[in-house]
A and B are shown apart, each in its own frame.
Chain A
């Protein structure tokens, strides 16, 4: 083994991110609380350089590194770009919110960047062990981040629930992986995929492994019936962490599913399609129906996430590049939409006031017409109203499902979105047609407000010109998956 055979240059963005995070961890030790802006700026610079390295390292053909444990293919690179952007938005929107709540510490930054490293490893891993290590790095950082507000009963309770259920899910996933290894004798994703396609290995054992893996994925994704942790964690965590959990990891989860189901277990597509149909139908139904009953906007977003994950699964269960790229587009745009939604919640929150009740949004459009309009765009995009990007994301997924011949499934998804439109439009109604019940003031710096506005406008612009991103993601999927 030599340095050149490692081919470590492929992983340069990850290596840089990890080194910079370790440096940040040490630099922050010498930064006083009053000058925490240094840490904030360094974290953003780290993310920017990581993004540039990703951009420079883009190659259309998959390249392997670290003895075929790590791959840089277009799916991974684009997903990582989305994650870096998502995490940068978390840090920008969350700064003043975190400062008001005593969690504006170095750990907020180091743990967030470590979770990003975990996500990036998840996206690039082509070995079951590397996949698992990436997932654990992400999960462990998130458990700690949820509990960052130590004195809050809600936060510690939700961290505990998240930890226990997350550990259970990891166990399931690992058990499934061990069965796949037992059935095929390999940990490499490509190798497993090849052996199962040509009919080698113990198929019965592999199917058992598949069931455990799908269960583990559904837990991590928060798909019904494995969704019970989602509302509690979204509600209990500080909103800045809720934004982190609700945005970038969805892209990591997408890449994770592609590696496990589309690449390793490609030969079992008819088997896992049935399981994903059940998960998707239940997620769409329960997510949308339960969201109606919520009076807390963070819980509402949690149930809406569950229904969006149903849509994500709809694209994947099509099991061809068209479906995968539709799901990729869905995940990508969902990251931006969710980031904007939670960013607006944090904009209204101030010291001692969370702005997490729906009634807190009454009359927002009269007091602050611009940010009322921004919230309207986020809600319209999540509801899937045309011109906004959420519509095209849903359209792409539904087209893929109809092409497969499952019209009933597409009709069901549309009906559930229609039910979902009710609770999104209710927020718009509260903002535009109700009298304000309390004085609404905006927190956050000018920079955060500008980025937030650009983020919301991007939902409109991407909706006006969806083809550019859609074709880019489609190419990425076609180049990455061997046909």
Chain B
């Protein structure tokens, strides 16, 4: 019974190693080879253009939301496309056309956002 969970244990171990080893490696190699020359910009966490610590209720451009929403919308389809492509041999014409209908609906949305100018930054 418990043996059934062995792959999961392996998965956890590999996951931890993938996370921890590069970090230790980077730290160790840096210690040996690197020179220490800090300045405030280098030591602050990277936060894509915003100050890392300030009032969370600041205003920022509504276009970020727009881009994020459009990204999520069209990003999700990949999650469907990959498994679909893997089993395309088995699901045949029915599976192929089902995905085409799904993509056609997405294309309608894409044409709409393009024509409305949602993709233009200025």
- Which residues from chain A sit less than 8 Å from chain B, CB to CB? 1-3, 22, 25-26, 29
Q: How far is the CA of A3 from the CA of B93 in the complex (A)?
A: 10
- Tell me if A26 and B111 are in contact (CB < 8 A): yes
Q: Measured between C-beta atoms, what is the minimum distance from A35 to chain B in Å?
A: 16
Residue in B94, B108, B112, B116 whose beta carbon sits within 8 Å of that of A2 in the complex: B94
**B105 and A22 form a contact (CB under 8 A):** yes
Q: Which of chain B's residues has its CB closest to A5's CB?
A: B94
Contact A1 B94 (CB under 8 A): yes
Q: Which of B99-120 contact A (CB under 8 A)?
A: 105, 108, 111-112, 115-116
B94 touches A26 (CB 8 A): no
Of all A-B residue pairs in the complex, the 7 with the closest CB atoms, nearest first, are A29-B115, A22-B108, A25-B112, A1-B94, A2-B94, A26-B111, A26-B108
- Among B77-99, those with CB < 8 Å from A are 91, 94
A29 touches B112 (CB 8 A): yes
Residues of A within 8 A of B111 (CB): 26, 29
- Report the minimal beta-carbon distance from B29 to chain A, rounded to whole angstroms: 48
In the complex, besides A26-B111, A29-B112, 13 extra interface pairs with C-beta distance below 8 angstroms are A1-B91, A1-B94, A2-B94, A3-B94, A22-B105, A22-B108, A25-B108, A25-B112, A26-B108, A26-B112, A29-B111, A29-B115, A29-B116
* Distance between Cα atoms of A243 and B111 in the complex (Å): 31
> Which residue of B is nearest A28, CB measured?
B112
Chain B residues within 8 Å of chain A by Cβ, number: 8
CA distance A25 to B94 in the complex (A): 27
Q: Measured between C-beta atoms, what is the minimum distance from A143 to chain B in Å?
A: 14
A2: which B residues are within 8 A, CB to CB? 94
> What is the minimal beta-carbon distance from A285 to any residue of chain B, in angstroms?
41
Main secondary structure of the interface of B (DSSP, over half): helix
Q: What A residues does B94 contact at CB under 8 A?
A: 1-3
Residues of B contacting A26 in the complex (Cβ-Cβ under 8 angstroms)? 108, 111-112
User: For residue B115, which residues in chain A have a CB less than 8 angstroms away from its CB?
Assistant: 29
Bound complex: CA A2 to CA B94 (Å): 6
Residues of chain B within 8 A (CB-CB) of A22 are 105, 108
Chain A min CB distance to B56 (Å): 19
Chain B positions within 8 Å of A1 at CB level: 91, 94
Distance to closest chain A CB from B101 (angstroms): 10
**Which A-chain residue is minimally distant from B108 (CB atoms)?**
A22
Query: How many A-B residue pairs lie within 8 Å, measured between CB atoms?
Result: 15
Residue of A with least CB distance to B115: A29
- Residues of chain B within 8 A (CB-CB) of A3 are 94
How far does the alpha carbon of A25 sit from the alpha carbon of B115 in the complex, in Å? 11
CB distance from A114 to the nearest CB of B (A): 12
| Alpha-carbon gap, A331 to B102, bound state (A) | 35
Please measure, in the bound complex, the distance between the C-alpha atom of A22 and the C-alpha atom of B115, giving whole angstroms.
Answer: 14
Best-buried of B105, B111, B112, B116 by chain A (most CB within 10 Å): B112
Least distance between A403 CB and chain B CB atoms (Å): 48
CA distance A3 to B111 in the complex (A): 28
Bound-state Cα–Cα, A26 to B108, Å: 7
Q: How far is the CA of A25 from the CA of B110 in the complex (A)?
A: 11
Pairs A–B under 8 Å by Cβ, sample size 15: A1-B91, A1-B94, A2-B94, A3-B94, A22-B105, A22-B108, A25-B108, A25-B112, A26-B108, A26-B111, A26-B112, A29-B111, A29-B112, A29-B115, A29-B116
Residue of A nearest to B114 (CB): A29
B51-90 vs A, CB cutoff 8 Å, 1 = contact: the mask equals 0000000000000000000000000000000000000000
Residues of B within 8 A of A25 (CB): 108, 112
In whole Å, how far is B22's beta carbon from the nearest beta carbon of chain A?
39
CA distance A3 to B101 in the complex (A): 13
Q: Give B2-58 interface residues, CB cut-off 8 Å to A.
A: none
Closest partner residue, chain A, to B105 (CB atom) = A22
Chain A residues, Cβ within 8 Å of B108: 22, 25-26
A2–B95 CA distance with the chains assembled, in angstroms: 9
B112 surroundings in chain A (CB, below 8 A)? 25-26, 29
Q: Nearest CB to that of A110 among chain B residues?
A: B112
Complex-state Cα separation, A1 to B87, whole angstroms: 14
Closest A residue to B112 using CB positions: A25
Closest CB in chain B relative to A316 CB, distance in Å: 35
Task: Report how far A22 CA is from B106 CA in the complex, Å.
Answer: 10
In the bound complex, what is the Cα–Cα distance between A399 and B81 (angstroms)?
56
Give the CA-CA distance A65 to B39 in the complex, in Å: 66
What's the nearest-Cβ distance from chain B to residue A107, in Å? 10
A residues within 8 A CB of B116? 29
How far is B95's CA from A3's CA once the two chains are assembled, in angstroms? Answer: 10
Interchain nearest-CB distance for B115 vs A (Å): 4
CA distance A22 to B108 in the complex (A): 7
- Distance in Å: Cβ of A348 to nearest Cβ of chain B: 34
User: In angstroms, how far is the closest chain B Cβ from the Cβ of A116?
Assistant: 17
B43 to chain A minimum Cβ distance, whole angstroms, is 40
How many whole Å from B51's CB to the nearest CB in chain A? 28
Q: What CA separation (Å) do A25 and B104 show in the bound complex?
A: 14
Q: How far is the CB of B69 from chain A (nearest CB, A)?
A: 13
A320 to chain B, nearest CB (A): 41
| Residues on A with beta carbons closer than 8 Å to the beta carbon of B91 | 1
Bound-state CA distance A3–B115 (Å) is: 34
A140 to chain B, nearest CB (A): 13
Minimal beta-carbon separation of B91 from chain A (angstroms): 8
| Distance of A167 Cα from B1 Cα, bound (Å) | 41
**Shortest distance from the beta carbon of A108 to any chain B beta carbon, whole Å:** 15
Could you tell me the distance between the alpha carbons of A301 and B73 in the complex, rounded to whole angstroms? 38
